[in-house]
Structure 1
């Protein structure tokens, strides 16, 4: 498909009207453990050699028991190996403890965020009663992302349990428990990396005195072949506004010198979590949106672990993914995909995703749209900094940041888009030229447009004039775009965009799309004869 201009696309249907059913994108599929060839149309650049690895839920029932939420499905790791213009595909389910226990009993034995494990019929009533009061081990169903620590790949979700995997044959290796190395109960599935390979992440610690947020640093070096997270340290800890109702977070931002934690009013009620265990209710019942609370941005010095005494407030927002963050002229720019409410978790129950007709339209119209925004944070706020004055002196920026009292700055965002982005349902799953431009001033980012509950277009945003290019084809649902730079690239967008595209109305209508990142024109596609559910995140693993 060639890029289309939004003003020229006069035949688009009104958003949220007569949406195509997507039930087939949340159905169970089989793994493909042996590589199968794909049929290539067009041309895939011969310099593009490596593997596109993708992760997401792909098994939604065991026997007569069914999961309730999209986030609950068992993790399936996909591999699209690209070599000399040809592509092969394979996939394997993560052999997590959750997957193995469920498979052995052919029923759901491990609770996920939206589904409570089913009682074992072999247990007595007495055993079932006391099971409610046992500390339940968190799931290790790493269905969210595939990430790197010390050169190794791990599948992860948002608990403290991750699994090392072999990127060549996709086999599950050992389970690794973050809490063995640092005192955390949960860890984000979106780490950040410095150029030397040092990684940063965030984790919660929950105890009798409530919760704390922890910034984690993992060194890049391995001491031996068996070394996993050895050397990981808590860089600093931050106290929540309410220690028994900490914020939910999916990711965080990072610049050259700072980690930025977004404490948003999507809250987790710790006491309700305990009640969920006792009353056999799903953990998502303990997550709620409080629009009366502002969002707080916390700055942490990556080198010293010092938490800035200045807190940057902004209006209530919900955030899953950050785009980029960088420092310039004494300011820290934080670019985020923002929702104006935090109830997205409620939308993605499987009963909603499997609706059709007007019922599906109503689900879509009940959700907020993610929009790209920039917050400008002044880095040198002192007691002498004047109050009630916009501190943002950048002439090209409409964002404001006003000191309201000592150590408090209130920030109003700048839109990183024009009005035309609303025609594509906003933007999520952002991606940049990470290796060269993460933590640096940049011009381009890529994402999915959401005129449906799943991404149905690919967008390339140009921050110079806030315009965008679009790849769209009716009835197709592309996944998160992944940027791969060309060899010896001299420009930021010199490379290709890779996305796995699904067709809910066509049996085995899956293909890998390759776009010219500059022009957003299609170079080629590799058709894979498999059915695949819509998935979350992935990475390109370049060949050695």
Structure 2
């Protein structure tokens, strides 16, 4: 398999290009807002099932400037936590900014003093040149602006990003309780914002380590229970360490895959130049300038046994791809089936700067048409590879599967994906932000997943995919931009899609145009919307915390 392949023709064929009128402006989706710490009422139109009871929690950037300085990248905005509390068919809303060091320092100084992914901190104009230079060393500490997701460890709620800092928060009040540093418990320099959970509550995550010997990737395991109320990450351990292919330029990753017995790390060609990151901090260049796409490198799947921590001697390869979110993974008949949202290049991360998102018309079209669409794909990894396994033939014997896995050397298997969609998904720009009925079907064979269609730089439709026949249901209305769909199961449901889908929908063309959308997960028909009397920005990830 060739590592270098011209995909321009394929991208043009697959991409859903915009019409002559240009994409509508979504500037309001990335504007700063005020927090609402006390709950306010919403106007519910329709009917929310009485069994839906709990808090829908969301996280994302909510403040993009301090003083006369603005952040450059969407990922840099200060973390704003949102709560939609649902009880008896009624909904209240509240929000709070995370009281991180980044937020507090920037607020106290009324300027950006903590560097983020796409923004370098602004030197104090009152300091002399030498003092400004020294302040660059002080800014080497990673940001604690945990604006990506809500997660749980040992029953506690955290907001997290991709640095070594998380914050424990109160899900009822959204108050910031405690900052937790991964590096105080294990030798890692960060962890993903998308851990996976076993049924017993054991949590797995991944984090990098940077030492004199170079970069490594680490599989982390956190025990399910606390021995005291004050505990955070005590008992966390690294169960496997994987050396980076290029120890000075490790791969960027946002998540990983997990089946019942295995963790799969996807080493993709989105690279981080560690030397450039360090020198950039000293010379005033942000981290994003050191992140790049290297299409000359194949993508590698590293399979780790969760019980033994042993890394498989077999490495699985596929063409250069980028993936931010996995859908699900499960084992069946000696195969590890892995589903993920995939693009054929990894340049998108650097296109989501604030300037791009605040454009309109042809200028916005130009940005959108540089993005590679993301589609759901399946890879099938044969697990039982030994000396007798034949070479140069497809090892995937699963019925009705077009994915291939060919052993080309003793410890090398080349994989080619199977599409999990029909051609109709291309009309919706692909699919991202995938979600499943996680508590019951994670690591197990499943039928349905949900996501956002992306005929814009943010989600502009909600999609339900049926893996049985690769058909889809869609909720879409012009001018409405739904965020990540979260599945909430019915307590008496028997089928996989018995429940509701929740998504926060933003309307940038209307004042106070935000609402919580509730769909019937089976029919994908709208049940209700709870209209919020204020505007809120577009967010990233969330979760539903059901009332006990």
Task: Tell me, yes or no, if the aligned pair for 2:150 and 2:541 is still in contact at 8 Å.
Answer: yes
Return the alpha-carbon distance in structure 1 between the equivalents of residues 444 and 19 of structure 2: 35
Equivalences for 1:406-425 in 2 at 5 Å?
Answer: 406-425=410-429
2:465 paired residue number: 461
1:317 paired residue number: 321
- Give the TM-score, by structure 1 length: 0.97
2:177 paired residue number: 173
1:231 paired residue number: 235
Return the alpha-carbon distance in structure 1 between the equivalents of residues 388 and 27 of structure 2: 58
1:3 paired residue number: none
Secondary structure of 1:33's aligned partner = strand
Task: Tell me, yes or no, if the aligned pair for 1:476 and 1:503 is still in contact at 8 Å.
Answer: yes
Q: 2:50 aligns with which of 42, 46, 51?
A: 46
How far is the alpha carbon of 1:133 from its aligned partner?
Answer: 4.2
How far is the alpha carbon of 1:123 from its aligned partner?
Answer: 2.0
Return the alpha-carbon distance in structure 2 between the equivalents of residues 26 and 418 of structure 1: 32
Equivalences for 1:337-348 in 2 at 5 Å?
Answer: 337-348=341-352
How far is the alpha carbon of 1:216 from its aligned partner?
Answer: 0.2
2:9 paired residue number: none
1:256 is aligned to 2:267: no
Post-superposition Cα deviations, 1:418-439, rounded to whole Å, max 9, x if no partner, equal 1110000000000000011000
Task: Provide the aligned C-alpha RMSD in A.
Answer: 1.1
1:31 is aligned to 2:23: no
Equivalences for 1:105-504 in 2 at 5 Å?
Answer: 105-134=109-138, 136-504=140-508
Secondary structure of 2:280's aligned partner = helix
Secondary structure of 2:38's aligned partner = coil
Task: Tell me, yes or no, if the aligned pair for 2:133 and 2:282 is still in contact at 8 Å.
Answer: no
How far is the alpha carbon of 1:121 from its aligned partner?
Answer: 1.9
How far is the alpha carbon of 1:17 from its aligned partner?
Answer: 5.4
How far is the alpha carbon of 1:15 from its aligned partner?
Answer: 5.9
Return the alpha-carbon distance in structure 1 between the equivalents of residues 520 and 139 of structure 2: 51
How far is the alpha carbon of 1:134 from its aligned partner?
Answer: 5.0
How far is the alpha carbon of 1:14 from its aligned partner?
Answer: 4.5
Return the alpha-carbon distance in structure 2 between the equivalents of residues 152 and 16 of structure 1: 50
Return the alpha-carbon distance in structure 2 between the equivalents of residues 276 and 473 of structure 1: 43
- Going from structure 1 to structure 2, the CA distance change for 1:13 and 1:299 (only over 3 Å counts) comes to closer
1:81 paired residue number: 85
Deviates more, 1:266-275 or 1:91-100: 266-275
The runs of 5 or more residues in structure 1 that have no matched partner are 1-11
Task: Tell me, yes or no, if the aligned pair for 2:146 and 2:167 is still in contact at 8 Å.
Answer: yes
Post-superposition Cα deviations, 1:12-66, rounded to whole Å, max 9, x if no partner, equal 9946852110001000000001100110001000100000000000100000111
Return the alpha-carbon distance in structure 2 between the equivalents of residues 410 and 302 of structure 1: 23
Return the alpha-carbon distance in structure 2 between the equivalents of residues 135 and 115 of structure 1: 12
Secondary structure of 2:275's aligned partner = helix
The runs of 5 or more residues in structure 2 that have no matched partner are 1-15
Return the alpha-carbon distance in structure 1 between the equivalents of residues 138 and 449 of structure 2: 46
